[in-house]
Structure 1
Amino acid sequence: MPATHEVFNQPSPLEGHDVAAEPALLEGVRREGAGWAMEELHELGRMAGGAAAQAWAEQANVNEPVLRTHDRYGHRVDEVDFHPAWHVLVDTAVTHGLHAAPWADERTGAHVARAAKFYVWSQVEAGHGCPISMTYAAVPALRHAPELAARYEPLLTSREYDFGLRPPLGKRGLLAGMSMTEKQGGSDVRANTTRAVAGGPDGAYRLTGHKWFTSAPMGDLFLTLAQTPEGLSCFLVPRVLEDGTRNSLSIQRLKDKLGNRSNASAELEYDGALGWLVGEPGRGVRTIIEMVNGTRLDCVIGSAAGMRAGLVQALHHARGRRAFGAALVDQPLMRNVLADLALESEAATTLMLRLAGAADRAILGDSEEAAFRRLAVAAGKFWVTKRHPAHAAEALECLGGNGYVEESGMPRLFRESPLNSIWEGSGNVAALDVLRAMAREPHSLEAFLSELAAAEGADARLDAAVKRLHAELSDLEAAEYRARAVVQSMVLCLQGALLVRHAPAAVADAFVGSRLAGEWGHVFGTLPRGTDVAAIIERARPRA
């Protein structure tokens, strides 16, 4: 190799660290009642920080899923082929209980532990998390049909990954999907035209219609919505019937998406497909809202994970790269940027763990936590998923041109970043849902404000921001028009309150001073003078 090709001033590969060894994560896991899960969390974290996991992530995205509509003889098969790396990623997730396993675990903190593990493993690769998330969210919806839950829940919670289209009850484990969206409706599922007619075998309905987006079409079971004489209703639709025949649904095509390339999303055609009613006829939206609550929480977790992954890459690069006579990490403006990215990441991580704790306690019967979760998950979903694309772009820029090439992994991270803001209701839908919750369930707002009040007196700037929020919430004029601004204020106050109570002083002071006290330029790297960037950066760095 010519001398001009000597490689220097490049950081070493980021591998061999423990993704779970993050102070904000570990502190939050203990605080929210899942300290017992530390051993498995670190085991998964070390795997996530290894070179093998990075290779699996790249392979699963470079070798995208392929639809096979027919076999060699002309029979319709509608199978999706995935690269082996995809199966390794999903198998790891299932084995560690990132899917529906917490529903079979009666320990306090089971759902917090699952959230933390989902956060850690999602930093490796986000696409395979889609069927994992939907399987987690399917169980509470399925419990509206006790007979179906008794039949399928043990297999949905099983820690065995058993890929392939076979009768569900003959498999060692199942994965579930969602089949909701139609061309004409999008988030407005009440506009769905798919029809369900009673009279099928074993109490089944026959569903006919077209689904515009079906996540993870190779799942074993789908929860779907269809119109009955009573109104929009929820159904469980298996890919394969128990007699071994394929259900009457076909995959029209796979979606060519911006990101999430490792995961297959598809258009499905129901042609008299058999489905079993879940919940009461005409109450499909109420039934499926349990699933939406779970997947919205996972949107927050996934975006927080993406922020952490981008931050770690930026910090590692800045420590291993020199420019203009000094390491990037020692240069004042870069330190401002890195500290600002770290603040956003920690605020998202702390919030998602609080939301997971609320979900865990709500499941155990805590009505106050259930009320808080109802409002805070929708608000958190709106804000954290909105922050992710800006965060990913800035983290990529920290690597300069090196971050713009596919080999760095940063372009994949950037392409993934808008997804969670769209999935399970775009920004407008989430913001309006917050308004709807406050109007229909006023106790949810009381619970939210009580959470803010727990930090009262700790920081005068936070107190002033909460006071302004109260004024905003009492002004109902043009509420829908102002919904985004109101929800943004709500989440920033909540993040500030959580950090003031639980984070080190340097982190809490910088977040409140920049996000709530008007000392921030709204682009990363505009933290005010006097910010303890050294402490913030040190806390955020990757660890072995």
Structure 2
Amino acid sequence: MAAKPERQPSSATAGFFQTYPIIPPAYTSQNQQGNAQTGPLPSDDAVLTNILKLYLPNPLPTALDQSIHDFARTCLDPTTLRLMVDCETNHPTLHPLNTFGEVNNTNALHTSEGWRGLKDIQTKSGIVAHAYRSVPEAGEYNRRIHQFALAHLWSPSCASVSCPAAMSDGAAILLSKHLSASANSSTAGQDPEMLRKVLQGAYDRLVSFDPSYAWTSGQWMTERPGGSDVSRTETLARLGSTEELAAEKAAFGGAETDGVGMPLGPYIIDGFKWFSSATDADMVVLLAQTSKGLSAFYAPMRRTKIMSDGSKVSFMNGIRISRLKNKLGTKGLPTAELEIKGMRGWLIGEEGKGVKKISAILNATRLWTACGAVGGWGRALAVSRAYAKVRKIKGEQVLAENKQHLRWMAGETVKYRACTHLAFLGVALLGIAESGWESAAKGTKAGSWLPKDKTEADSLLRILTPVMKAECSLWSNWGLRECMESLGGVGYCENLEDGGVMNIARIVRDNAVNSIWEGTTNILSEDFVRVVKGRAGGEAIASLDRLIEALVGAVATDLADSAHLVRRQWNALKAWLSSTATEEVLYQGRDVLQQVQELVCALLLMIDARNTGDPLDKVIANRWISSRVEQGKKSLHKQSLEVESENDAHIVLGIPPTRAGRTQSKL
């Protein structure tokens, strides 16, 4: 009998080493062919492909298809990932004084090479600009869907440079509404034509593809007394007197322009901002009190000073960084407390109407938050899938062959798909509100049920944005925790090696801010209640009712039972909202947000199943309805253990069950 081979001890260089998972790009062009056996190469993130087919023209214009395909690879390119890791290891630093102790008014904030490099990639790729400039070869389409498809891919790779992108997008929306001279500008002590020229210059930079020319914007609202209660703002703004402005001009060597040569505004702003994200921005939109109340202002971050030798130096525009915030996540993002003293700015719109003006930015950044949250979740699921395919657990068995594990991750995948559909519904509505149904939805699969009126789209955004922002943020936080656990101890570690693509822990930390920034869940619940129980509450609920009826109508022919179930539950909730006192609705506000989310997601998943005709998408819709809508009743969609486990594998890994017919179930 042959002797058993003698066992050898492992060492740092010998023994078992885990095969490295391959993380494929989330999106692959529909024109990319595999081979005769496999057919076209599938996208790793199937829901993104389905969403593009739903909201963009069919067939997908080649220019858009290729744009998203190429950017999916940019997001996983080693150069991009190295920049991301650099952000994690080289955090922003503050240098408030020069060598001899004078205040450093020129370059007090230092950011990493990684941060600056990622911002350049973001600008060149048009993460903001594509919302404002169509791809000519693509014809008419919803520019917002193209933009947010790129942002979805970018979110987990960008080390939070998407934060200034979101604020820049919001600022571009606001400035675009004020690019014509307004009647109140002159009465506010401002030259209307000069104001228009300044805002046009800033807008052009916000929507540029050129990193050497483009700007990013900050938004400063949060202060020590109020948090989300901006009515307690302590920052003050007033028109500078002729004497004050002349003296200041002399102090700056005769210069009265910003860092790129545009005139400074006539308002002088003083105060303290408690939280400023992306402090390295080029401009800011902020709130300040005037004699007529809370008002919105535009200000450049830098201004020019002419030195005694005639040279021009760029100084901070009355801004001193007090300290940088030490946060749980978003480590590369420079977030600071700011003292404002003598900042020069321009009033945007009418005095005392600042909250209304700033809401244009808030609505955009809340949508960005929802989409960014599901984008990070999508990457974490991709890592979990890839790991399951190579991680050995029992002999030669890999994790992907463990039925319990697949059941768990299939449940998480269903939740991710539902939330991603919800976020992109908001994106589609924003595109219609801006460009109209004819340009943004006509000829698409979603065109039959999306609202044709811009006002209706705006109304739906007003009622659904707090739902999207709150629920996508919360659910992604929970989902990311599950993805981290799915990797075991590897998931808990801050893996910065190999480009950091395995570092789910970083995504968990970065994503945690999404349920706080731009309004906590409670604040968003209050916002939702303010809409449905306010003066225009009846019309707001009616607009959501019309959308739900349109969705039900779109799927009722072949998915009648589930569609009618959702309608009954919505009718019950609608009646309760209308008949219940505001205080009671507010008390249950968080639950109400989740109910709306669950019902709308159920319909969107049914729409997805109808459009694709894929039995798997019916299974996914079934599972969401069984777990979220039926509420403990006997499931309409119960399957055998064998069929369920086969479907789990299909949902998680994209592997069709051995008997494809078994996935077919009636909704």
Output the TM-score relative to the length of structure 1: 0.91
User: What pairs with 1:4-403 in structure 2 (closer than 5 Å)?
Assistant: 4-5=11-12, 6=14, 8=16, 10-15=18-23, 17-19=25-27, 21=43, 22-33=45-56, 35-36=60-61, 37-73=64-100, 74-77=102-105, 79-105=108-134, 107-146=140-179, 147=196, 148-162=198-212, 172-199=213-240, 201=245, 204-241=266-303, 244-325=314-395, 326-365=397-436, 366-403=454-491
Q: CA deviation digits over 1:110-166, x for unaligned, max 9? A: 11111110110112134111111111111121234321432211111111223xxxx
Residues 265, 344 of structure 2: 8 Å contact kept: no
Partner secondary structure for residue 274 of structure 1: strand
The 1:183–1:151 alpha-carbon spacing in structure 2 relative to 1, beyond 3 Å, is same
Query: Aligned in 2, Cα 1:7/1:465: closer, same or farther, shift over 3 Å?
Result: farther
Decide whether the 8 Å contact of 2:168 with 2:218 is kept in 1.
yes
- Inter-partner Cα distance in structure 2 for 1:317 and 1:16: 12
**Contact 1:232–1:282 (CA<8 Å) still a contact in 2?**
yes
Does 323-332 or 527-536 show the bigger shift? 527-536
Does 1:468 find its partner at 2:588? no
Counterpart contact for 1:340–1:527, Cα < 8 Å? no
Q: Flag the structure with larger Rg.
A: 2
Q: CA deviation at 1:371?
A: 1.7
Q: What is the CA distance between 1:86 and its match in structure 2?
A: 1.5
Aligned-partner Cα distance in 2 for 1:206–1:384: 39
- In structure 2, distance between residues paired with 1:117 and 1:91: 15
Contact kept in structure 1, 2:366 and 2:465, CA below 8 Å: yes
Change (3 A) 1:232 1:32: same
**More displaced stretch, 141-150 vs 59-68:** 141-150
Deviation of residue 241 (structure 1)? 2.2
- Residue type at the aligned position of 1:176: S
Aligned to 1:435: 529
1:15 CA displacement: 4.4
Q: Which residue pairs with 2:252 in the alignment?
A: none
Task: Verify the 8 A CA contact 1:112 1:356 in the aligned structure 2.
Answer: yes
Determine if contact 2:265/2:299 at 8 Å carries over to the other structure: no
Residue deviations 1:189-212, cap 9 Å, x none?
Answer: 111111111126565211111000
- The CA deviation string for residues 468-496 of structure 1, in whole angstroms up to 9 with x for no partner, is 33323322230100111111000111111
Alignment of 1:511 with 2:624, yes or no, is yes
**In structure 2, what is the equivalent of residue 167 of structure 1?**
none
> Contact 2:463/2:540 (CA < 8 Å) preserved in 1?
yes
Shift of 1:75: 4.2
| Partners of 1:7 and 1:173 in 2: CA distance | 52
What CA distance in whole angstroms lies between the structure 1 residues aligned with 2:339 and 2:639? 52
Aligned residues: 527
Post-superposition offset of 1:64: 0.8
Q: 1:319 Cα deviation (Å)? A: 1.0
Cα 1:315–1:128 change in 2 (3 A) is: same
How far, CA to CA, are the matches of 1:320 and 1:235 in structure 2? 54
How far residue 27 of structure 1 moved from its aligned partner, in angstroms, is: 2.2
Q: Distance in 2 between matches of 1:519 and 1:82?
A: 52
Supply the distance in 2 between the matched residues of 1:27 and 1:192 (Cα, whole angstroms): 44
**C-alpha deviation, 1:4, in angstroms:** 3.8
Distance 1:500 1:16, change over 3 A: closer
CA distance in structure 1 between the partners assigned to 2:159 and 2:632 by the alignment: 34
- 275-284 vs 68-77, greater mean Cα deviation: 68-77
Distance 1:422 1:466, change over 3 A: farther
2:512 counterpart of 1:418: yes
Q: Deviations over 1:273-295 (max 9, x none)?
A: 11110111000000011101110
Query: CA distance change for structure 1 residues 540 and 138 in 2, over 3 Å: closer, same or farther?
Result: farther
The answer to whether the Cα contact below 8 Å between 1:318 and 1:327 also exists between their aligned partners in 2 is yes
Contact 1:100/1:135, CA 8 A, preserved across alignment: no
Q: Which residue of 1 aligns with 2:182?
A: none
Cα separation, 2, equivalents of 1:100 and 1:413: 25
What's the secondary structure of 1:447's corresponding residue?
helix
Structure 1 contact 336–527 (Cα < 8 Å) conserved: no
Cα 1:388/1:126, change in 2 over 3 Å: farther
In the other structure, the counterpart of 2:449 is none
Same amino acid, percent of matched pairs: 25
The more displaced of 269-278 and 47-56 is 47-56
Unpaired runs of at least 5, structure 1: 163-171, 521-525
Structure 1 residues 102 and 474, CA gap change in structure 2 (3 angstroms): same
Distance in 1 separating the partners of 2:24 and 2:625: 34
Aligned to 1:523: none
Aligned partners of 2:561, 2:109: CA distance in 1, in Å? 56
Calculate the TM-score normalised by the size of structure 2.
0.75
Distance 1:528 1:385 in 2: 34
Task: Give the Å deviation of 1:403.
Answer: 0.8
For the residues of structure 2 that align with 1:299 and 1:511, how far apart are their CA atoms?
A: 23
Q: Deviations over 1:300-345 (max 9, x none)?
A: 1111101101111111111111213421111111011111111111
**Is the Cα–Cα contact under 8 Å of residues 266 and 345 in structure 2 kept in the other structure?**
yes
**540 and 115 in structure 1: CA distance in 2 versus 1, 3 angstrom threshold:** farther
Counterpart-to-counterpart distance in 2, 1:112 and 1:235: 30
- 2:493 counterpart residue number: 405
Alignment partners' CA distance in 1, 2:508 and 2:335: 19
- Once the two structures are TM-superposed, the CA of residue 247 in structure 1 deviates from its matched residue by 1.0
Structure 1 range deviating more: 315-324 or 17-26? 17-26
Give the corresponding residue for 2:653.
538
- CA 459–488 in structure 1, closer or farther in 2 if over 3 Å, else same: farther
Counterpart secondary structure, 2:20: coil
Per the alignment, residue 586 of structure 2 pairs with 480
Residue type of the partner of 1:129? S
Paired residues of 2:385 and 2:653 also in contact (CA < 8 A): no
